[in-house]
Amino acid sequence: MQPVYVTATAQCLPGAPIANDRMADYIGRLSPEAERFGRLTLRQNGIRSRHYAIRPDGSSDWTVAKLAGKAVRDLIADAEIDRAAIGFLATATTQNDLMVPGLASGVHAESGLPPIELASLQSVCASSMMALKAAALQVAAGEHRAAIAVGAEFSSRYFRPGQYRGTATVKLDGTLPGDAEFLRWTLSDGAASLLIEDRPAAHGLSLRIDWISLRSFADRFAPCMTGGGAHQPDGSLKPWSLHGSAAEAAAAGAFQLRQDVDALYRMLPVWLGEFMRLVDERKIDPVSVDWFLCHFSAHSLRQEMARLAERAGCMIPDERWFTNIYDKGNVGAAAIFLLLDDLMRSGRLSPGQRILCAVPESGQCIMAYAAMTVVEGDLQ
């Protein structure tokens, strides 16, 4: 197959960075208890600032399609090729603006691209890697010479008090269960994009994509991060569409995002097991990784992962981790592209360096890794 390269990267983070003490102005105030839980969550995830596409009054000029569209327009503006040379667009997100049609249509409309082949990948964080792999394979197979993968999230709109009040999720004291509150203090908004081509850029550095691996472990895990269903007393998840009416589903809390935090820790060994498999298959050599871009949702998870990795000889030393979560927040399906864009612009890359990307997804347990090599500009 044709080798493929990331030749340009871009990001769109709406508005100014919002510090922890101003978060509640944007996602709204449920109760003092909820904010106490928020501060506890922030201590665990270590995030200091993030961006929101929503205004304090709950209005917004953005949609997730517009965020992604902006990241695509900025990408094209920065690319060495004309927009007409791009044949494929893959989008990744957790929740599209609309249930129908797919996000890729909305992003195409916002992007200024001419008629193009599309793929809408919807999952949680790992949807980014699904989009990247789709784009990389399209180019590697010779179907297109250039493709775009874009990830975008607009989570803050789901976290406004109006999305919870009057539903079964709110407890008598005005608090939410931990699995609903946790995400309000974890996720934020933004988009980032990659241009994939069948050759390196002529100027500046490119990233050769060496391989992408993605595996689901839904054979052993129940859904653990969910939206669109309400948990029943027997533990099962009832899709909103099987409630008597949309209003009934809403009252049951079916439209809220939930994250079973304990399940994250149960998934850790599985995520790391994938790393070990790739080490044993000689795809990953921990010693030769120069930059480790690991999307993790909380600082405490990172510490736990390091503990497990140590004894299996899978630890990549701290100084090789490249992260931006503390300043840019957890942007779900945009996160890994945001990391790559920041790394490309950091001035710290040099030809020959090896990059390992890791994207765990808690949804129903997915683990994705990708390896890239920094290559020099090719004037040919």
Partner 1 sequence: MNAAIPTTADNRALVEAAHRGLAQTWIEFESALAQVPVVARLLAGKLRLEDYRRLLFNLRQQVVEGSRWISRAASNLGPNHEELRSLFVRHAVAEHRDYRLLEDNYVAAGGTAEDIRAGRMNIGSEALSAFMYHAASRPDPVGLLGAMYVIEGLGERLAGPWSQAIREQLGLGDEAVSFLAYHGANDGDHLDMFDRALALAIADRATADEIVRHARIVARLYRLQLEEIDHV
Q: Which residues bind partner 1 (CB under 8 A)?
A: 217, 219-220, 234-235, 269-270, 272-273, 276-277, 279-280, 311-314
CB of 240 to partner 1, least distance (A): 22
CB of 314 to partner 1, least distance (A): 7
* Assigned token pair, 109: 């409309």
CB of 268 to partner 1, least distance (A): 11
- With respect to partner 1, which residue has the nearer C-beta, 209 or 314? 314
- With respect to partner 1, which residue has the nearer C-beta, 90 or 267? 267
CB of 290 to partner 1, least distance (A): 21
- With respect to partner 1, which residue has the nearer C-beta, 313 or 351? 313
* C-alpha pair distances (Å), 151 with each of 121, 148, 194: 9, 10, 9
CB of 264 to partner 1, least distance (A): 15
- With respect to partner 1, which residue has the nearer C-beta, 196 or 267? 267
Taking a C-beta distance cutoff of 8 angstroms, is the pair 82, 186 a contact? no
CB of 149 to partner 1, least distance (A): 29
- With respect to partner 1, which residue has the nearer C-beta, 89 or 367? 367
Tokens 């850790």 correspond to what residue? 268
- With respect to partner 1, which residue has the nearer C-beta, 236 or 303? 236
CB of 108 to partner 1, least distance (A): 39
Burial 284-300 (b: 16+ CB within 10 A, else e): bebeebbbbbbbbbbbb
Helices 64-78 and 103-111, packing angle to 10 deg = 50
Rounded Cα–Cα distance for residues 203 and 327 (Å): 29
Closest Cα partner for 45 from 290, 287, 261, 315? 261
- With respect to partner 1, which residue has the nearer C-beta, 58 or 217? 217
CB of 231 to partner 1, least distance (A): 12
Tokens 């653990």 correspond to what residue? 224
Closest Cα partner for 344 from 78, 146, 28, 65? 78
* Assigned token pair, 191: 């988009």
DSSP type of residue 201: -
- With respect to partner 1, which residue has the nearer C-beta, 142 or 269? 269
Cβ burial of 182 (10 Å; 0-12, 13-18, 19+) is buried
CA count, 13 A, side-chain hemisphere, 16: 6
Closest Cα partner for 180 from 226, 238, 122? 226
Taking a C-beta distance cutoff of 8 angstroms, is the pair 348, 181 a contact? no
- With respect to partner 1, which residue has the nearer C-beta, 136 or 284? 284
Rounded Cα–Cα distance for residues 378 and 201 (Å): 6
Closest Cα partner for 232 from 249, 213, 215, 216? 249
CB of 311 to partner 1, least distance (A): 5
